[in-house]
Amino acid sequence: MPSSSDKSSRLAPAADSAVNLNRRSLLRGVTATASLLAASRVAFPYGAFAQGAGPETTKAQLGYIALTDSAPLIVAREKGFFTKYGMKDVEVLKQASWGGTRDNLVLGGGSGGIDGAHILTPMPYLIHTGKVVQNNQPVAMSILARLNTNGQAISVSKALMPAGAKLDSSPLKAAFAAKGNNKVAMTFRGGTHDLWIRYWLAAGGIDPEKDVETIVVPPPQMVANMKVGTMDAFCVGEPWNDQLVNQGLGYSACVTGEIWKDHPEKSFAMRASYVAQNPRSAELLTAAVIEAQRWCDAMENKDELATILGKRAWFNVPSPDILPRSKGNIDYGDGRKVADSPLRMKFFADHASYPFQSHESWFLTEDIRWGILPPDLDTKALIGAVNRQDIWRAAAKLADIPAAEIPVGTSRGKETFFDGKVFDPDQPAAYLASLSIKKLAA
């Protein structure tokens, strides 16, 4: 049975301060016996885990928000991948909001909170630096894997559909000026959804600091809030954009893969103290997540995936709100329909699972752009402290990932956005300087 009990949001002082982590490289387990391999092929189509040194602990409490990109954690629990890798006492616990996720990470699993989570990629950095923690007290964090690329959207109210904003947001400029009291919603200040909607607005000449008010709404509450007119537009992950369309309350102006093709999105992150105390357990958890990601990507599993996620224990959402966009079939709600879109959510394909450091450099640069982080931040050192791509690589070996599917370096290179802007991870300052609308901290 799934373990998905809610952990309520509780704010407490940070349980630990930033720690200086030693890089660890652990030996891969010995080859399993031939009989074990034969017996496990049916249960585990990607191969049996070769048991080596056991985990320091078999326990971990992991949080998730009801978003399709949390699927790897839920599937790892439902399909037995955590147990396969010796992590038999993992709980996957529903969080009410990203603020609740943060608060429970601050508490930690040993104090009634959680050890790790499905999380917006910038959040571990904001927690690690103390920017979003009570009293600005840092809680050291580690990113172990990326959970997905693509799979989010920017949705606009039905009332503003006649303006015709799509990937180009500029038609909303006049509509906003005429309407007044304009509100756009995202899910956490400085998180991915905040950055996507800000980028989209700014690219169309709409200043998200002056022309609209940005508000925070938890993902599962987006549709209900649009229904009562709380906001004019929002950015969130699936299945909530598709649900909005299915209920006739608005439309998707664009999916975020149109803004940046195969962009990074959520991450699997843990408190650094858990990783430091349980390095083998952290690798095994990551290996289970990687295997679950491969399962989630297989098209033949999409129907079952939608059924699993839709269960009352997990999302409590009709599977028709989940399935179409999972397969890349997008009904934008304004007459546009796309089948088999290459911009569908990816969990493992095309290096979606690997936590490229270059991508985290972009997120930090955008948080600097909007005054959330200071301009003089040493982003390279910060990424070096939080990004544990070394654990991902060790876990990928445990999960028997072919060498061809493991990135050679830590950078995906230059990234090009829909408006022609180019982010060079080696020159983030030049990218920042090229942006005309921004709000740098003093």
**CB 151 within 8 Å of CB 345:** yes
Torsion angle (degrees, nearest 10) of CA 333, 338, 342, 344: 30
**CB 65 within 8 Å of CB 219:** yes
pLDDT band at 46 (very low <50, low <70, confident <90, very high): very low
**Which two three-digit tokens encode residue 216?**
């925070």
């989940």: which residue's tokens?
A: 322
DSSP of 362-390: HHHHHHHHTTSS-TT--HHHHHHHHB-HH
> For residue 47, which amino acid is it?
G
Q: How far apart are CA 56 and CA 51, in angstroms?
A: 14
**CB 144 within 8 Å of CB 50:** no
Query: Does residue 25 carry a pLDDT above 70?
Result: no
Q: How far apart are CA 305 and CA 392, in angstroms?
A: 24
- Please give the pLDDT value at position 27: 25
Collect all residues with Cβ–Cβ distance below 8 Å to 330 and sequence separation of at least 6. 252, 255, 324, 336, 337, 338, 341
Q: How far apart are CA 176 and CA 164, in angstroms?
A: 13
**CB 249 within 8 Å of CB 158:** yes
For residue 61, the cross-strand partners are: 91
Mean pLDDT, rounded, of the chain: 90
Using DSSP, state whether 107 is helix, strand or coil.
helix
- Please give the pLDDT value at position 2: 42
Query: Does residue 334 carry a pLDDT above 60?
Result: yes
Query: Does residue 10 carry a pLDDT above 60?
Result: no
Mean pLDDT of the 101-124 span: 98
Instruction: Give me the domains of the chain, ranges plus CATH numbers.
Output: 34-150+263-316+344-433 (3.40.190.10), 152-262 (3.40.190.10)
What are the tens digits of pLDDT across the range 60-80? 999 999 999 999 999 999 999
Q: How far apart are CA 155 and CA 141, in angstroms?
A: 32
**Which two three-digit tokens encode residue 223?**
């549709």
Share of the chain above pLDDT 70, in %: 88
**Phi, psi (degrees; rounded to nearest 5) at 60:** -165, 140
């901290």: which residue's tokens?
A: 441
Mean pLDDT of the 138-146 span: 98
What are the tens digits of pLDDT across the range 416-437? 999 999 999 999 999 999 999 9
- Please give the pLDDT value at position 441: 87
- Please give the pLDDT value at position 168: 98
pLDDT band at 126 (very low <50, low <70, confident <90, very high): very high
What are the tens digits of pLDDT across the range 392-416? 999 999 999 999 999 999 999 999 9
pLDDT band at 12 (very low <50, low <70, confident <90, very high): very low
Q: How far apart are CA 315 and CA 202, in angstroms?
A: 33
**Which two three-digit tokens encode residue 176?**
């906003």
Mean pLDDT of the 382-395 span: 98
What are the tens digits of pLDDT across the range 256-267? 999 999 999 999
- Please give the pLDDT value at position 146: 99
Q: How far apart are CA 422 and CA 325, in angstroms?
A: 28
**CB 253 within 8 Å of CB 245:** no
How many alpha carbons fall within 13 Å on the CB side of residue 329? 8
Query: Does residue 41 carry a pLDDT above 70?
Result: no
pTM for this one?
0.89
- Please give the pLDDT value at position 38: 33
What are the tens digits of pLDDT across the range 200-252? 999 999 999 999 999 999 999 999 999 999 999 999 999 999 999 999 999 99
Check residues 329 and 18 and name the one with the higher pLDDT.
329
What are the tens digits of pLDDT across the range 338-379? 999 999 999 999 999 999 999 999 999 999 999 999 999 999
pLDDT band at 49 (very low <50, low <70, confident <90, very high): low
Collect all residues with Cβ–Cβ distance below 8 Å to 372 and sequence separation of at least 6. 126, 131, 189, 190, 441
Mean pLDDT of the 110-139 span: 97
pLDDT band at 1 (very low <50, low <70, confident <90, very high): very low
Share of the chain above pLDDT 90, in %: 87
